[in-house]
Amino acid sequence: MGRPPCCDKIGIKKGPWTPEEDIILVSYIQEHGPGNWRSVPTNTGLMRCSKSCRLRWTNYLRPGIKRGNFTPHEEGMIIHLQALLGNKWAAIASYLPQRTDNDIKNYWNTHLKKKLKKLQTELDSHNLPLPPPNFDNSSTNNYDHHQFSKLLNSPNSSSSSSLYASSTENISRLLEGWMRSSPNPSRINNIDHDEMLHEAQKIQDQDGGVSNDDVVTIPNEKSSYNINCESSEVVTHEKTSPPPFTYLEKWLLEENGGQVEELMELPMIFT
DNA sequence: AATCTTGACAACCGCCTACCT
DNA sequence: CAGGTAGGCGGTTGTCAAGAT
């Protein structure tokens, strides 16, 4: 015998989540943590299947998700990684810890695909090819990065602003108590620094990770690590553990999500 | 002012793999 | 080992707001 069914298909509610459902789900995860999604509908009384609960949490309610506009830097990373990895949105999302794979996928489909198509037209008219997959502004190959960047960031191809419809006020009220007692997530002390540093240097050598001059980012199943090779400093960005309340507060209360890159440092391959 | 079209995001569907019994 | 599900992932669709006609 295998596992029992995840949920009863009869009476399953579909469509947009209500603020009340969000609150119920967040309250439950606050108490039990994410995971064991099968038990969520039965234990919460939510008329949703476990899959829907998981998606709602990972794509929308999970703390640490950056809302609002994609920065040119993020945009560049997505284009770069899509060229390298294809439509492996989860893999691409691992390099952008604040963005969900669904978000990146949507952004690609609604913005970047069109943008690149337009760009290709522009490049054709300038007799320029699209940049190679290992495109990097700092590299010394013969590609005309300056002209490419100029075209990419031209006013005509800039992304439009977008706001997420949400009930952030309700959710923030609910979460207030929770996040104040959350553990300190961002820096860990119990990891093997030598091992991490070695890994970072290896990746930097192979150009397999995403790196700028000194900082290498290693995506991981549950977190990503930013490693400064010069100072040997390792900073983790947990994907599942809640960030400090101040960050969540910022996310919930600022209409556009705010600019929080300083909190979740991103590798700068496109600057 | 009413209707139609388009854009953007949220959510669902179906497939695949890992894992449980 | 086999049967079967949970969870993860990518593709697609649904919904709604804003702009155009």
Fold exhibited by the domain A19-61: Arc Repressor Mutant, subunit A (1.10.10)
Q: Can you give the distance from the CA of residue A178 to the C1' of nucleotide C14 in angstroms? A: 33
**The listed CATH number (1.10.10.60, 1.20.120.330, 3.40.50.720, 2.70.210.12) that belongs to domain A67-182+244-271:** 1.10.10.60
Measure the N-to-C terminal CA separation of chain A; round to a whole number of Å: 54
- Domain span(s) for CATH 1.10.10.60 in chain A: 67-182+244-271
The per-residue pLDDT string of chain A (271 residues; one tens digit each, 9 = 90 and over) reads: 433 444 445 678 888 888 888 888 888 888 888 878 888 888 888 888 888 998 898 888 888 788 778 888 888 888 888 888 888 998 898 888 788 889 899 888 888 887 777 777 777 766 766 555 444 444 434 445 455 555 554 444 333 333 333 334 444 444 444 444 333 333 333 333 344 444 444 444 443 344 443 343 433 333 343 434 333 344 444 433 333 333 333 433 343 333 333 333 433 333 3
> What single-letter DSSP state applies at residue A181?
T
Interacting residues of A132 by C-beta distance below 8 A, sequence separation 6+: A141, A143
> What is residue A151's predicted lDDT score, i.e. its pLDDT?
52
A106 touches strand C (CB under 7 A): yes
Give pTM, 2 decimals.
0.59
Chain B nucleotides covered by protein, CB below 7 Å: 7-14, 19-21
> What is residue A260's predicted lDDT score, i.e. its pLDDT?
36
CB count in 10 Å sphere of residue A247: 19
Q: Can you give the distance from the CA of residue A106 to the C1' of nucleotide B6 in angstroms? A: 16
> What is residue A136's predicted lDDT score, i.e. its pLDDT?
42
